[in-house]
Amino acid sequence: MPCKWWLTIWACGINIIVLDHPTEPIKASTVTSHYSLLNGLQFGEASCHQKAAMSSMASKIKAYSVPVFLFSLSVFYQLVVLPRSFPASHYDVLGIKRYSSVEEVKEAYDKMSSTWNSEAGIPATSDFIKIQYAYELLTNPLWKRDYDIFGIDEQAHIMDKINLQYAGESISGIELPLLEATTFDLGFHTFNEFTSQEFAPMFDSSKPRLVLVYSLGSKRCAQFFSSWIDITGLLDGVAGVGILELGELQLAISLAERKPTGKFFFRNGLPSLVAFPSGCKASACLVRFEGDLSTDAVIDWFATKVLGLPRILYYSKESLGQNFLAKSGPHKVKVIFFSKTGARATPFVRQTAKSYWAYTSFAFVLWREEDFSVWWNAFEVESAPAIVFVKDSGVKPVVVHGMVNNSEFLALVEKNKQQELPQLRSATSMELGCDARGHSRAGNDNISWYCVILAGRLGPELNKMREIMRRIQERLSIDSESSEADEEQPLALTGAFKGKRLTFTWLDGEAQEKYCSYYLHSETSYDTCGPRRDLIDVPKLFIVRYKRNASEDDIKVDTKPKNIFNVFEDEDVDPASQLVARYNGSDEISQIMLWMSEIIRDGETRNLPFYRSKTPALVPEDSEPIWSRGAQSIFSKSIGIKQRIYNNISRIYDYLGDPRIGPILLLGALMSFGTIWLIRSQSTHPTQASQLSQSNVKVSDDSKSVCM
């Protein structure tokens, strides 16, 4: 059988077979229609190939986008960023190599200036200013040293100023020299100047220090020394201070920052303030000042960030009572400073506020003459400066007018840190001698001592009894010997008080419920101890006798039956025995003094039993202050967003001048390009081979089916 006429058209993956019998004539219209169909299929095939090519190109661009981006970034860095990070130096202006000697600088300048005699060799005004500036800078030994080692060029702004001043004029009209030498006038002031021998022992000291890095050739440093004198005075007694000239090269380098290129620099130029916190023994823990070079800014930064001292706030006449006096604990003495200037608290005052935090609260008030009547009626303050110590309710404040030095101020705070009738607290129990674990105020040699405690909830009733106890203290503090020989009881009481074996104190029964109930355990103790249940508040007075140094044979440990709640409590007992006597008499001062005298006489003369037990611990009245956590932990959290952004930008800017970044980006582009090409080539070859095999098999099958 003869083979049939066939026509196979491959277009866009579609096989079209046209079959005609050879015996039948082919019509012209049929051939024309077949050719039209063939042309249409050829056009479709070309369109499909174009779309496939565009899709392949898009996929390649997408696949190689990362290496293209890295390559573009490396080119941009090398051609744009890096040249800006390394501008022409003053040595380049003179046409000599960097770090040339002063003699070589002079030779280069003389060689250039010799050509200025002819009109053709006269440089432009801006070029002359650059040359002259470079010459004057590099021929001054101090300026050249600072520029070569630390890149310090603090007078560069002068060139812009002179260019504006002499714009359009000839170089002969420019007044020379352009730069003025700096002179230091320290007067009669002497400073602790560090040297290599004195600097090493500083790391062994636990005292915080502030170091001023300066240069004798710096005009800014000369202007700052007047502020430095004030700073050293304000930090006296709080931290060590010293100065370091850049001539001490090794020490200056150890205090400078270092760029990735290895160049040493001071971020904000000179003068530079570097702080050594307490316990800092390496350069990694240094703290550098980056703010405004004013006395107030430096002192506040050092006191707050380095020393971790609390800030003392200012209050007005409207806010002092509501925001300070009312919010400060009733157990604390309020210390109020009246200032005319509105200046911040000095570091010594802030250090004192931190040291006496358990006893006092500090505040500042800006003195105004129109507020004289307010402050006179409230505290009897006549003028500023003045310091007021506000103690117990109803007690006249202690007012000190005029300026006081640091030692006088510390003595005032130590003298007035306690209320007239001190409160028994966890921070004061040992000092007052009202703790079985300690000793009397008279010393460790005393066998027995006494503590009179007034317990109750805060309120009018407790304030009334506190006033009675203060009057008893005043009577006993007056050194008046009785003329009558038979007044034995008052003499025993007075002797114990003067011998510091008798202490008067009061206890907050609501805050110290467990401690209060331990001594006043009775059916009516809830009227004195614990939260207020009704309107009845009954302050109670009791006296505790402490005794030590008893023989072990006489000691009887108080053993109470244990239950499920106290079975795991510590079985250790206090070293001193305690006997408690409660007062149930009237509020008359004479009756109370007689009762106390009898208790003391019995305690001194009678052989009372010796019992020891475990006293409940006093609950701390205040939470831990924030500054006790350490300066580093505080200020790592308190840095503002703007400061964080600025610090990050500064670090990025430091790395922009690293010439290694460009080659690293180029290497990354090449490596990513090679990796992507290898992955794509390995995934493409097997696919193409598979497609070719499948097409060959299909064509073979078609041939077999058509050509029989």
Stretch 588-601: mean pLDDT: 93
Helix (H) or strand (E) holding 9: strand 5-11
Who contacts 162 (Cβ-Cβ below 8 Å, separation ≥6)? Answer: 129, 174, 178
Rounded to the nearest integer, the mean pLDDT of the chain is 82
Q: What local confidence, expressed as pLDDT, does residue 339 receive?
A: 96
Q: What was the pLDDT predicted at 269?
A: 93
Per-residue confidence band for 606, with pLDDT thresholds at 50, 70 and 90: confident
Angle at 18 between CA 14 and CA 21, to 5 degrees: 160
Strand 398-401 relative to strand 386-390: parallel, antiparallel, unpaired? Answer: antiparallel
Band of the pLDDT at 467, cuts 50, 70, 90? very high
The residue written with tokens 């001592």 in the block is 449
pLDDT tens column, 471-492: 999 989 885 454 444 454 467 7
Q: Please give the pLDDT value at position 370.
A: 95
Given a cut of 90, whether residue 320 has pLDDT beyond it is: yes
Closest CA to 142 of 262, 270, 263: 270
* Phi, psi (rounded to 5 degrees) for 611: -120, 135
Please state the rounded mean pLDDT for residues 367-384. 95
**Start-to-end C-alpha separation, the chain:** 9
In this predicted model, which residue has the larger pLDDT, 471 or 197?
471
Lowest-confidence region among 25-34, 172-181, 329-338: 25-34
666 to each of 72, 77, 677, how far by Cα in Å?
9, 10, 17
pLDDT band at 46 (very low <50, low <70, confident <90, very high): low
Q: What is the pLDDT of residue 696?
A: 52
**Ranked by mean pLDDT, which of 151-160, 482-491, 616-625 comes out on top?**
151-160
How large a percentage of the chain has pLDDT more than 70?
79
pLDDT, one tens digit per residue, over 435-465 is: 988 888 888 888 899 999 999 999 999 999 9
In single-letter form, the type of residue at position 166 comes to Y
Contact in structure between 352 and 409 (CB atoms under 8 Å): yes
pLDDT of residue 604: 86
Cα Rg of the chain, angstroms: 46
Which residues, at least 6 apart from 406, have a Cβ–Cβ distance to it below 8 Å? 236, 237, 348
Confidence of residue 228 (pLDDT cuts 50, 70, 90): very high
Which pLDDT score, from 0 to 100, does residue 233 have? 93
- The answer to whether 246 and 146 are in contact (CB under 8 A) is yes
pLDDT digits (tens, 9 = 90+) for 391-430: 988 889 999 999 999 999 999 999 999 999 999 999 899 9
Lowest mean pLDDT, pick from 115-119, 407-411, 518-522: 115-119
